[in-house]
Amino acid sequence: MENRKSTTALGGLKVIELGQLIAGPFAAKLLGEFGAEIIKVEPPVGGDPLRNWRKIENGTSLWWHVQSRNKKSVGLDLKKPEGQEILRKLLKDADILIENFRPGTLEKWGLGWEQLSQLNPKLIMVRVSGYGQTGPYRDLPGFGVIGEAMGGLRYLTGEPGRPPVRCGVSIGDSLSALYAVIGILLALHHRDQRSGKGQCIDVALYESVFGMMESLVPEYDFFGAIREPSGAALPGIAPTNAYLCRSGKYVLVAGNGDGIFKRLMNAMGREDLANDPQYAHNDGRVKGVAVLDAAIGEWTKQRDVAEVMEKLNAAGVPVGYPYTAEDIVKDPHYQAREVIQTINLPSGKTLKVPGVLPKLSDTPGHIGGAGPSLGEHTDEVLSAIGIDGEMLKSLRQRGIISGKKEGL
């Protein structure tokens, strides 16, 4: 650990993760990639449900090996008093606790913020929930999809007049995880540089989404404008859209800067539009967006994606196309920046996984390997807080902990 402290940004920090599925565990994953010790506490039977989500290899979700890398798994029944007492022992010298239970769950077990902050005044506690720890909705169940809806995102996604769609990943949970990590880093700075004390961080899924909604509310407040779904376009900014090519595939073109717009039109051979004073600035282009989108679409549909990409890249116009998983894995830029890395699975097979972000020059993050088996580190972690072998055996026999003793 001493070496890790000197070579990683968060080495020496002890994090207890009580979260399941996405938001809490994703936050802990990010901390673990930069050196923090992550002790993941899971139910002794079944563990985190994410172990069985999506595609399964040798009994374990491939997603698990991304979300739970660099973590130690402890199988511990927190519904039983002895399990709760063990958690208190783990928290006595911990720096951070991450949980995403429904509000009130930890209080029911005598593990609320008031009790834990007295137990360990330096503890930073992160609480991720659907609606936050206060307010009239606090006790309602809330997953990421509900946070995306209440936060305003789902209303805007999709084509006008059609049902709202999701973006294909659990973006509400992931945004909450990022806010949780920001809160942790702020609280660590305040604790270590100023107060010496930890604090509680309240992250709500819907607020994490709402925080990304740009000028949605100010425009409603000032003009009474309710932003509506707009498909692939970005309202109030033009031209930027998805345009069909000859091959039946789409390109994404962002010609919304004044200089970029001129280069785009010139590359298309539309000097008339490039030099039209109506389109010199964004406000004029927004008024004439139908004309501009039609002109761009007419140009792209006569060309394949590769030709459009070549011409617009040469002209200095931002252009791309929707990448599939295959496109990502084969892309030379992804490869050059090592955004995808390869790990070894317990089965002996290899697996490509997302690399560590962001990239730090002096204390970069790392991937230690695949996600742990359920309770893989129970004995190691509990022995370190003074629980001897006989007690471990007794706890295991009574179902309070799970996981085989190392070496057996």
Are 63 and 98 in a shared domain?
Answer: yes
Are 133 and 192 in a shared domain?
Answer: yes
* CA 32 from centroid of its chain's CA atoms: 14
Domain stops at, among 320, 348, 366: 320
Q: Rg of the Cα trace of the chain?
A: 25
Residue 308 CB contacts under 8 Å (≥ 6 apart), including other chains:
245, 251, 253, 300, 319
302 in a domain, yes or no?
yes
Domain stops at, among 260, 287, 320: 320
Are 31 and 152 in a shared domain?
Answer: yes
The amino acid present at 366, given as its one-letter code, is: H
Are 353 and 277 in a shared domain?
Answer: no
Domain that holds residue 97: 2-211+340-402
328 in a domain, yes or no?
no
pLDDT tens per residue across span 183-234: 999 999 999 999 999 999 999 999 999 999 999 999 999 999 999 998 888 8
CA distance 19 to 134: 19
Burial 336-351 (b: 16+ CB within 10 A, else e): eeeeeeebebeeeeee
Asked if residue 354 has a cis previous peptide bond (ω within 30° of 0), the answer is no
Helix (H) and strand (E) counts for the chain?
20, 14
Are 269 and 364 in a shared domain?
Answer: no
333 in a domain, yes or no?
no
Name beta bridge partners: 61. 56
Long-range contacts (CB closer than 8 Å, 24 or more residues apart) made by 54-60: 57/345, 57/347, 57/349, 57/351, 58/345, 58/346, 58/347, 60/346, 60/371, 60/373
Domain stops at, among 286, 320, 354: 320
CA distance 285 to 299: 18
Are 395 and 353 in a shared domain?
Answer: yes
Are 114 and 25 in a shared domain?
Answer: yes
Sign of CA dihedral 22, 114, 106, 135: negative
164 in a domain, yes or no?
yes
The amino acid present at 74, given as its one-letter code, is: V
> What pLDDT, on a 0 to 100 scale, did the predictor assign at position 355?
96
330 in a domain, yes or no?
no
Of 353, 360, 366, 343, give the one whose Cα is nearest residue 32.
366
Residue 257 CB contacts under 8 Å (≥ 6 apart), including other chains:
none
Using 50 as the pLDDT threshold, list the residues of the chain that sit under it. 1-2, 4, 406-408
pLDDT tens per residue across span 60-86: 999 999 999 999 999 999 999 999 999
Q: How many domains does the chain have?
A: 2
Q: Which backbone phi and psi does 76 adopt, to 5 degrees?
A: -145, 130
227 in a domain, yes or no?
no
Are 271 and 381 in a shared domain?
Answer: no
17 in a domain, yes or no?
yes
230 in a domain, yes or no?
no
Are 29 and 108 in a shared domain?
Answer: yes
Contact 75, 44 (CB under 8 A): yes
Annotated catalytic residues are 173
Q: How many residues does the chain have?
A: 408
Are 12 and 154 in a shared domain?
Answer: yes
CATH of the domain at 311: 3.30.1540.10
CATH of the domain at 99: 3.40.50.10540
Are 134 and 269 in a shared domain?
Answer: no
Contact 197, 191 (CB under 8 A): yes
Are 304 and 365 in a shared domain?
Answer: no
CA distance 186 to 201: 10
> What three-state secondary structure class fits 124?
strand
